Amino acid sequence: MKNLLVTPLVNWGMGAAIIGVFALVCVVLVFVVYSMASSDKKAKDSSEESH
């Protein structure tokens, strides 16, 4: 009966890994959006110069 009260309700190792993966995905998405925004700006600048 005492073992049931001592067992952890959360696996902290797996939770930390999931949070790490989530943070990595967020950083990658921010980089992709920033990259798309800067390439769009460059495309507009070059198209305006050619006209």
Q: Is the pLDDT reported for residue 3 higher than 70?
A: no
Q: Is the pLDDT reported for residue 7 higher than 90?
A: no
Query: Domain range holding 19?
Result: 12-40
The pLDDT value given to residue 48: 62
Which of 19-23, 26-30, 35-39, 42-46 has the least mean pLDDT? 42-46
Q: Is the pLDDT reported for residue 11 higher than 70?
A: yes
The count of domains in the chain is 1
Q: In this structure, is residue 35 part of a structural domain?
A: yes
Q: In this structure, is residue 26 part of a structural domain?
A: yes
Q: In this structure, is residue 25 part of a structural domain?
A: yes
Half-sphere exposure of 23 (CA within 13 A, CB side): 6
Q: In this structure, is residue 24 part of a structural domain?
A: yes
- The pTM score is 0.59
Q: In this structure, is residue 45 part of a structural domain?
A: no
Q: In this structure, is residue 4 part of a structural domain?
A: no
Q: In this structure, is residue 47 part of a structural domain?
A: no
Q: Which two tokens stand for residue 45?
A: 């600048």
The pLDDT value given to residue 10: 75
CA angle 42, 45, 49 (to 5 degrees): 140
